[in-house]
Structure 1
Amino acid sequence: MLQGTGVSMALPWLSSMTPAFAGKPDEKSAAPKRFVAMTLGLGLIGDNLNPAIAGRDYKPSRYLKSAQDLRDQITVVSGSSHPGVKGGHRAEASILTATAMGSAGLVRNTISLDQYLAKHLGDATRFPSLVLSNGGSTSPSYTENGSMIPPEDSPSALFAKLFIDNSARQRDLQADRVRQGRSIMDLVGEDAKSLSRELGSGDRDRLDAYFTSVRDLEKRMAANERWAKMPKPKVDAKRPVDIGNGSDLIGRQRMMSSVIKLALQTDSSRYITYHIPGAGGVIPIKGVDEGYHGLSHHGRDEEKLSQLALIETEMINAWADFLRDLQSTNEATGNLLGNTAVFMTSNLGNSSNHDNRNMPVLLAGGGFRHGQHLAFDQKNNYPLPNLYVSILQRMGMPVDTFATSTGTMTGLEMAT
């Protein structure tokens, strides 16, 4: 009961608080390192995404032709997946945790990559992380205790939280809420300490782990008391108007991406996850007249594959435009793309048969040496969690493992 309360008080409380901004980075110091994960619920057609040959001299695939100006900023990875992860759509929960949930989803999930970063490095900004969606109530972001973090799916609401100031009275109320929360946790802590004297050693260990999480949360809440009274950043952009058509995934993707860029530029958050689920409606793209989810179950039907390719091409184009926006935004050292690792993947390698192997993987920016296709075994997949270790190390985390990793990703080097 105490542990469950700790989870509910931790991340949902922080994500519901009015955002502010972290102020301008010190001009004399290096720009902060950031991470953005864009995850897809219905995958990408591998034959259209992955180049035919490995290495740096690959010929661009159908999906990557329009992104050749970004070639030296992108790494394509094929033949990788999360060891032991199955379950088709259910594996959305495993995208960033790499935890095998079992065919019935009975296994408790673990912390996701973005939340691991936020836990250890997220205290420098108003938002330790932002969890976003293109529609729907699910996300691939999970707390240390395996609780899914509900996403924000409105670009307009996100913009308002980031950049539209509350009144002075509302800011005082926000700070008051933080202080009240800390007082409640003090009371719970006293009760729990009394309880611990009556517990066995195993339960005492579990309670100690709970106290550790409470102490971490108290530190965050103390910081948020300060943020609650600070004004928000001013940006040269208007509040977006949400797209009413829930099937317009590409339009929504572009709109949310523009707000994500502003969040990074103002250092409001450094760790952002954006999930694009599989909508059932017809996406408004010329040449597409069947529902997206239905097209994903193509069964190798040529007409369905043709329409699905039109949709996925536009998704990659929107992703590439997001990269260009980051690249064109200069910082004290380099540009936003060079200081932001942008990761795209999906739980599905083949949406038609719900296969979780051979996941689509694109990595851009973030100070890695890109411009290559890392092609691993399509039958005996390479562990994708190795890439997560590489990302964590690039972010400055002194770790050697994450989930089922066996080390860092072979062939992926950091830029000098």
Structure 2
Amino acid sequence: MALGLPFLDAMSRSASATTFPKRFIVFFTGLGTVKDAWVPQGTELDFTLSEVLAPLAPFKEKLLVLEGIDMESAYHGPGDPHQQGIGHALTGTELQEGDLFPYACNPNAKVGWGGGISVDQFLASHLGASTKLGSLELGIQVQNANVSSRISYLGPGQPVPPEDDPRNTWNRLFSEIASDPDSAARRRAHRRRVLDQVMGDYHNLQGKLGAGDREKLEHHLEAVSEIERRLDAPGTIGGSCAIPTLGDPPEPFVNDNYPELGRLQIDQLVMALACDLTRVASLQWASTQAGKVFTWLGQNETHHQLSHSSPTDETRRQQIVDIGRWHAEQLAYLLDKLAAVPEGTGTLLDSTLILWCTDIAVGQTHARRDMPYVLAGGAGGALEMGRYLRYQGNSHNDLLVALCNAMDVDVTTFGNPAYCTGKLPGLGV
């Protein structure tokens, strides 16, 4: 079923001249990789993808494989290595001091939430003004609500939880537009009346509060106003917008349902972008210390246990490689779905920038230097893709700056400026 306006003849005649909006996706998988099985062989332009990255070969010309980038910020501030790695991955900022979450290695030491806005939410604040959702956060069996299971932050101490259940994803994205227009209009009108009443109550309360509480209330009022504004956000920019068929999704927290749940979330994410319901999204595969057992790969130990096995244990090493390769297959599935959506003379993949990132480089050492990063897509032509780039300890904060610039958001620093020298060079931004 098509959504909103049909793809008009006028659109078709001018499709080649249309400038389609850029989109940004974070693809997060925890626990790092086996580095020698991840690193490509060859030179910048003439390289062969590794055992882990081989499933991405059909999209080699749409990739930037980045080696030698350090998550320097994640060696500073409180938190254990996993907490620092995931909490810094998109923020480049120290975690908050606090007593909320114990360290995995030292239960007597504790930490708070992430300490700054994440790059996805920063981009959403610039790119999401005209879409129904500023951003879309999806998870696959993330489950836990702690600093080790959050990549996305609206600001210091403001984590954004991912949605694990494809049913809830579908309801949030498509339930209203799948119903008849009159019913949808009635629901919007009812919600607007409720919001108007809430806003009136808040304004009456405002004069009775102290300065600190007034400031908190003002931020809340801004959020409520944003909800009201988005009620009539149109969505739909072309003829490829269609409501995905959900079927009967599996239970969201059964270990062996992991692969099917991931595909359902990817299908809905792609259609949310195709329908212009959002332009910023994240897909988080479990949490950093999850007890995920990749039974469909013939395994019987958790990913976390395997990541801490001896590097000389060839059997377990290969199992970690197999997990990384499986995740690359899921990224390839996402890229294939994006490439199947036509936009003018190109595809949705051409206007999208995907960041594949993780929390640590290597499980056994918890290193956060020489991190494995892959960029994919086209970013609307902002980046020179199809290359393998080796850096010499450049900060990942500089990568976050380059991502913002590629999405046409002009910044010279991101996260804690102490670990930032400007945009990462060489990407073609």
TM range (shorter): 0.7 to 0.9
Match of 2:267 in 1: 258
Match of 1:15 in 2: none
CA distance change for structure 1 residues 208 and 163 in 2, over 3 Å: closer, same or farther?
closer
* CA distance in 2 between partners of 1:214 and 1:236 (Å): 32
- % of aligned pairs identical? 25
CA distance change for structure 1 residues 166 and 372 in 2, over 3 Å: closer, same or farther?
same
- Equivalent residues in 2 for 1:272-351, closer than 5 Å: 272-278=281-287, 279-300=290-311, 301-351=313-363
Measured against aligned partners, the alpha-carbon deviations of 1:189-247 in whole angstroms (never above 9, x if no partner) come to 45445656xx5xxx6xx966974x456435523323325999xx972642143334424
- Equivalent residues in 2 for 1:190-205, closer than 5 Å: 191-192=205-206, 195=209
Q: Kindly report the root-mean-square deviation, in angstroms, between the aligned alpha carbons of the 2 structures.
A: 3.1
Q: Does the residue aligned with 1:382 lie in a helix, a strand or coil?
A: strand
**Alignment equivalent of 1:181, drawn from 195, 200, 210:** 195
Structure 1 unaligned residues grouped into runs of 5+: 1-19
* CA distance in 2 between partners of 1:39 and 1:304 (Å): 22
* CA distance in 2 between partners of 1:75 and 1:373 (Å): 6
Q: Does the residue aligned with 1:361 lie in a helix, a strand or coil?
A: strand
Measured against aligned partners, the alpha-carbon deviations of 1:288-317 in whole angstroms (never above 9, x if no partner) come to 233222212122121111112112111101
Measured against aligned partners, the alpha-carbon deviations of 1:388-410 in whole angstroms (never above 9, x if no partner) come to 22221222212222113321111
- Say whether residues 1:410 and 2:410 are aligned partners: no
**Alignment equivalent of 2:160, drawn from 146, 149, 161:** 149
- Say whether residues 1:394 and 2:398 are aligned partners: no
* CA distance in 2 between partners of 1:290 and 1:409 (Å): 38
Bigger drift between 148-157 and 245-254 goes to 245-254
* CA distance in 1 between partners of 2:367 and 2:414 (Å): 23
Q: Does the residue aligned with 2:355 lie in a helix, a strand or coil?
A: strand
CA distance change for structure 1 residues 108 and 256 in 2, over 3 Å: closer, same or farther?
closer
Given that 1:282 and 1:292 are in contact with CA atoms closer than 8 Å, whether structure 2 keeps it comes out as yes
CA distance change for structure 1 residues 153 and 42 in 2, over 3 Å: closer, same or farther?
same
Match of 1:4 in 2: none
CA distance change for structure 1 residues 229 and 257 in 2, over 3 Å: closer, same or farther?
closer
With normalisation by structure 2, the TM-score equals 0.79
* CA distance in 2 between partners of 1:229 and 1:317 (Å): 30
CA distance change for structure 1 residues 234 and 323 in 2, over 3 Å: closer, same or farther?
closer
Measured against aligned partners, the alpha-carbon deviations of 1:179-198 in whole angstroms (never above 9, x if no partner) come to 433543454345445656xx
* CA distance in 1 between partners of 2:273 and 2:49 (Å): 29
Measured against aligned partners, the alpha-carbon deviations of 1:116-163 in whole angstroms (never above 9, x if no partner) come to 122222121111111110111443111124311121112233123322
* CA distance in 2 between partners of 1:281 and 1:194 (Å): 50
Q: Does the residue aligned with 1:172 lie in a helix, a strand or coil?
A: helix
**Alignment equivalent of 2:45, drawn from 48, 56, 60:** 56
* CA distance in 1 between partners of 2:21 and 2:225 (Å): 21
CA distance change for structure 1 residues 114 and 108 in 2, over 3 Å: closer, same or farther?
closer
Bigger drift between 121-130 and 163-172 goes to 163-172
Match of 1:139 in 2: 150
* CA distance in 1 between partners of 2:216 and 2:243 (Å): 45
CA distance change for structure 1 residues 108 and 265 in 2, over 3 Å: closer, same or farther?
closer
Paired AA for residue 371 in structure 1: G
Structure 2 unaligned residues grouped into runs of 5+: 98-102, 104-109
**Alignment equivalent of 2:31, drawn from 42, 49, 60:** 42
Match of 2:106 in 1: none
- Equivalent residues in 2 for 1:217-228, closer than 5 Å: 217=223, 219-227=225-233
CA distance change for structure 1 residues 72 and 400 in 2, over 3 Å: closer, same or farther?
same
Measured against aligned partners, the alpha-carbon deviations of 1:15-65 in whole angstroms (never above 9, x if no partner) come to xxxxx9776799454111000101112222222222245522223211222
CA distance change for structure 1 residues 234 and 76 in 2, over 3 Å: closer, same or farther?
closer
Bigger drift between 64-73 and 127-136 goes to 64-73
Paired AA for residue 369 in structure 1: E
Q: Does the residue aligned with 2:111 lie in a helix, a strand or coil?
A: coil
Paired AA for residue 88 in structure 1: P
CA distance change for structure 1 residues 388 and 396 in 2, over 3 Å: closer, same or farther?
same
Q: Does the residue aligned with 1:374 lie in a helix, a strand or coil?
A: strand
